[in-house]
């Protein structure tokens, strides 16, 4: 397989599953920060069952213990030293996120999957800036994580909706990512990658960056963008699709078309101020980029079928 590698391209597949020539191809090691908490432990078990190679957990004061046969360390330095992992999923509560994430980046983590909701914007911005300096990437916060169906998942998504295939799903919402992927699966469109960019105002990996991760891959057939009201990341992506002359089918969905202005609709990032963040603004930009926008989640696979036929 050939990639036209861009300078700023972050190859998510290389980080997650590696190349076929790698000894640990499809089995890249993953650390879980906050593994022994109820949330962390539940999902560690589910990730492991899905095939994710979880090699270590981090919980201060619990070194020496193990969970599901996975050793626990007091700090991430030790966990990295022992395992060589470059991926970490952070399950700590929001007030401790900044410290956990900074520790991870200090110790060679290159992909940080930030699960917690309610992380202050200031902390997300600090982590993001630090990640850039360290040549690392953050997904989230407030994300379900990332899944390469039938190979591995780093996050809290259920396994059932996803099947391997050639569509890529990017979503600002967790449950809608499951719903839409399930719908695609049932319609016969498996997924190459599903990534939650997160429901916060600040995303470690925004829609454009997520798109950049896969736009030159020949094994990706189409892209589904699950957006929602708030901010202008969909508008930016639509403009970028035009700018990059992207020719593969892209289908979008926007949640919150009927949401009132100036009300935060569950996600910290889902709020309209004036026209900024409105569904109309997003629909208009997608129309310009020739991206059909489904009115309801169940319509996405139908729109995709039409696009693929063209």
Partner 1 sequence: MKLLEYQGKELFKQYDIRIPRSHLVSDIEQAKQAARKLSYPCILKSQLSVGGRGKAGAILKCKTESELVPKFNELMNKEVKGELPTHILIEEIVDIRGELYLSLFLNRSKRCYSLIASAEGGVEIENVENKVIIDVLIDRLSAETAEEVAHKLKLRAKTKVSFTDFTMKLSKLVREKEVELAEINPVGVLNDDSLIALDSKVIIDDNAIFRHPELKKYEHISELEAQAEKSGFSLVELDGNIAIIGNGAGLVMSTLDMVSYAGGKAGSFLDFGGSATTETIYEALKVISNIKRINAILVNLFGGIVKTNLVAQAILNAYNNNLICVPVFARISGAESEKAKEILKGTQAKLYDTVEEAIDAMVKEVSR
| Active centre residues (catalytic) | 267
User: Longest Cα pair distance anywhere in the chain, in angstroms?
Assistant: 58
Instruction: Select from 17-25, 57-65, 83-91, 263-271 the region that touches partner 1 (CB under 8 A).
Output: 263-271
Query: Of 25, 49, 68, 121, which one interacts with partner 1 (CB under 8 A)?
Result: 121
Gap between the terminal Cα atoms of the chain: 25
Instruction: Select from 6-14, 69-77, 84-92, 222-230 the region that touches partner 1 (CB under 8 A).
Output: 222-230
Alpha-carbon separation of residue 230 from 19, 147, 170, 178, 281 (angstroms): 37, 25, 16, 21, 10
What's the min distance (Å) between Cβ of 289 and partner 1?
16
Q: Interface with partner 1 includes 238 (CB under 8 A)?
A: no
Name the residue nearer to partner 1 (CB basis): 36 or 205. 205
Q: Interface with partner 1 includes 274 (CB under 8 A)?
A: yes
Strand order in the sheet with 293-294: 152-155, 145-148, 191-196, 164-171, 222-228, 250-255, 293-294
Name the residue nearer to partner 1 (CB basis): 160 or 218. 160
Q: Interface with partner 1 includes 297 (CB under 8 A)?
A: yes
β-strand partners of 241? none
Name the residue nearer to partner 1 (CB basis): 163 or 248. 163
What's the min distance (Å) between Cβ of 237 and partner 1?
10
Q: Interface with partner 1 includes 265 (CB under 8 A)?
A: yes
Long-range contacts of 35-38 (CB under 8 A, 24+ apart): 35/59, 35/67, 35/70, 35/72, 35/91, 36/62, 36/65, 36/67, 36/72, 37/91, 37/92
Q: Is 291 helix (H, G, I), strand (E, B) or coil?
A: coil
Query: Of 257, 302, 305, 308, which one interacts with partner 1 (CB under 8 A)?
Result: 257
Q: Say how far residue 292 (Cα) sits from the centre of its chain.
A: 22
**DSSP at 51:** T
Instruction: Select from 20-28, 50-58, 62-70, 167-175 the region that touches partner 1 (CB under 8 A).
Output: 167-175
Q: Interface with partner 1 includes 256 (CB under 8 A)?
A: yes
| Beta strand pairing call for 70-73 and 66-67 | antiparallel
Q: Residue 117: is the preceding peptide bond cis (ω within 30°)?
A: no
Interface map 77-116 toward partner 1 (x if CB under 8 A):
-----------------xx---------------------
Q: Interface with partner 1 includes 179 (CB under 8 A)?
A: yes
| Contact present, 183 and 297 (Cβ < 8 Å) | yes
- Site residues, partner 1 (CB under 8 A): 94-95, 118-122, 125, 128, 156, 158, 160-161, 171-179, 182, 199, 201-202, 206, 226, 228-233, 236, 253, 255-260, 262-270, 273-275, 295-298
């Amino acid at each position: 397989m050939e990639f036209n590698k861009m300078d700023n391209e972050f190859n998510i597949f290389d980080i997650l599953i590696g190349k076929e020539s790698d000894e640990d191809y499809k089995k890249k090691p993953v650390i879980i920060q906050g593994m022994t908490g109820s949330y962390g432990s539940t999902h560690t078990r589910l990730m492991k069952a899905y095939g994710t190679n979880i090699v270590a957990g981090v919980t201060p004061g619990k070194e020496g213990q193990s969970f599901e046969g996975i050793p626990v360390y007091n700090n991430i330095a030790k966990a990295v030293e022992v395992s060589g992992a470059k991926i970490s999923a952070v399950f700590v509560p929001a007030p401790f996120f900044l410290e956990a994430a900074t520790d991870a980046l200090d110790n060679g983590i290159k992909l940080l999957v930030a699960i917690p909701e309610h992380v202050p914007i200031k902390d997300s911005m600090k982590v993001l800036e630090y990640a850039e300096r360290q040549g690392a990437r953050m997904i989230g916060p407030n994300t379900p994580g990332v899944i390469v169906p039938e190979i591995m998942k780093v996050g809290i998504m259920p396994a059932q909706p996803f099947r391997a295939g050639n569509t890529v799903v990017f979503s600002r919402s967790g449950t809608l990512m499951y719903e839409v992927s399930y719908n695609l699966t049932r319609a016969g469109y498996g997924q190459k990658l599903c990534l939650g960019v997160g429901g916060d105002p600040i995303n470690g990996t925004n829609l454009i960056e997520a798109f950049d991760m896969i736009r030159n891959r020949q094994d990706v057939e189409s892209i589904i963008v699950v957006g929602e009201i708030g901010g202008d990341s969909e508008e930016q992506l639509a403009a970028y699709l035009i700018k990059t002359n992207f020719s593969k089918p892209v289908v979008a969905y926007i949640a919150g078309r009927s949401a009132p202005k100036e009300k935060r609709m569950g996600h910290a990032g889902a709020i309209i101020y004036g026209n900024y963040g409105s569904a109309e603004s997003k629909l208009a930009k997608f129309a310009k980029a020739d991206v059909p926008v489904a009115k309801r989640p169940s319509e996405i696979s139908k729109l995709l079928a039409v696009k693929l036929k063209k």
